[in-house]
Structure 1
């Protein structure tokens, strides 16, 4: 009986982009094995890991090593659990093929044990990346539109406050004064630590309302507002 290795993952944003937990992914893989007469030899899990580069996910590498040694089948809930880019997905597919192993993705119903399955795998990998690129473009366009209207797109930057409408940003004069002080001290060549000490001594409050400044907070403001030294 051909052995199956399962691979599951949830991202750093919480549950996976498709909302499926580690437990649910494991259940689906186990159910598929039972229905198709396969032995589930093990399940490898990357918990709280994004779907970036494959070589940055230790459990994925362990799963690939195991399935390539046995010449079995790697089963995942969906291609999004396996990789985020077409390149990584196809590299994984080629590695499995060279080792005489196969890939099954349950959501897309991909099964590379057949020639047709191999073709579908390559096509869907390309389409999955295309859809992600479209989503990224739409998101970028929405954020750009919000910024052009002066609307908040994330955390409220130092030097500004949220207006009464709960959407637009307005200038915070007290924080603007602190920004001006940071600019002047930076141009004078003062270190981040000394700037933080000076802001504390002069009674400026941090964004959270604190009275003690840290050099890391000063660095964040300098980076965001592109404050340069003399």
Structure 2
């Protein structure tokens, strides 16, 4: 987002509640909208829309209808900044939040979480984002290192670990690459189905859950390194 542009910044708000009851009563949603609207007005931003209301959807997954729609709008360049009242409306998981921040950086849009000091439109807020991203990367590497060490101990004890990998490396690399590129797991599954790529068990149909298992697999972790 160029700072020299005279056009108003186009903001897109996202709201979410964690239960159907909250969604039905409106509790929380009106407060989130009010906070987003007030911030946009304070900064002179053009609030394009407030989307979301993913009632009952877990914040631990990015596979939410409202969030998916919002991210697609931002990726297309139809909005410049995603604004949330609270960071946990996006995700309570550091890893998932880091994925969104990394996507914003790659796609060229900004992210503002009003309660967390996260504001990639400012130098201070961008520093907060970098700290979160660095922490997430460190945690992933630390977990990977501990996993490898534990597996090495088991192997030294003669323990046979899991089933042999039956998916070709090229398929695993494709799934990892497309996920890194911002494609949802359901979209990756549809693409594999269209290309008639067999599943790990030789099946003809891919599901979001099967793509998720590949992304969590040891083979995927080696490719991601």
Question: Please, what TM-score do these two structures have when normalized by structure 2?
Answer: 0.50
User: Which is bigger in relative contact order (C-alpha 8 A, separation at least 6)?
Assistant: 2
Taking the TM superposition and a 5 Å limit, the aligned residue runs for 1:5-44 are: 5-12=12-19, 14-15=21-22, 21-44=28-51
Distance in 1 separating the partners of 2:85 and 2:60: 17
**Secondary structure of the corresponding residue to residue 54 of structure 1:** coil
Instruction: Give the corresponding residue for 1:87.
Output: 95
**Secondary structure of the corresponding residue to residue 63 of structure 1:** helix
User: Is structure 2 residue 62 aligned with structure 1 residue 66?
Assistant: no
User: Is structure 2 residue 109 aligned with structure 1 residue 101?
Assistant: yes
User: Is structure 2 residue 100 aligned with structure 1 residue 75?
Assistant: no
> CA shift at 1:14, angstroms?
4.5
> CA shift at 1:25, angstroms?
0.2
Taking the TM superposition and a 5 Å limit, the aligned residue runs for 1:194-205 are: none
Contact 1:103 1:111 in 2 (8 A): yes
Q: 1:40 to 1:119 in 2, by over 3 A?
A: same
* CA deviation profile, 1:177-216 (whole Å, cap 9, x unmatched): xxxxxxxxxxxxxxxxxxxxxxxxxxxxxxxxxxxxxxxx
**Secondary structure of the corresponding residue to residue 104 of structure 1:** strand
> CA shift at 1:86, angstroms?
1.1
Contact 2:81 2:109 in 1 (8 A): yes
Contact 1:4 1:67 in 2 (8 A): no
Distance in 2 separating the partners of 1:123 and 1:14: 35
Question: Please, what TM-score do these two structures have when normalized by structure 1?
Answer: 0.49
Contact 1:79 1:108 in 2 (8 A): yes
> CA shift at 1:49, angstroms?
1.9
> CA shift at 1:44, angstroms?
1.0
* CA deviation profile, 1:75-114 (whole Å, cap 9, x unmatched): 0011100012111101111111111100000011221123
Instruction: Give the corresponding residue for 1:211.
Output: none
Instruction: Give the corresponding residue for 1:209.
Output: none
- Number of equivalenced pairs: 125
Instruction: Give the corresponding residue for 2:59.
Output: 51
- Which is greater in Rg? 1
* CA deviation profile, 1:112-139 (whole Å, cap 9, x unmatched): 1234322212435759xx9xxxxxxxxx
For the aligned residue pairs, the C-alpha RMSD in angstroms reads 2.6
Q: Could you list the runs of 5+ residues in structure 2 that have no partner in the other structure? A: 1-7, 140-225
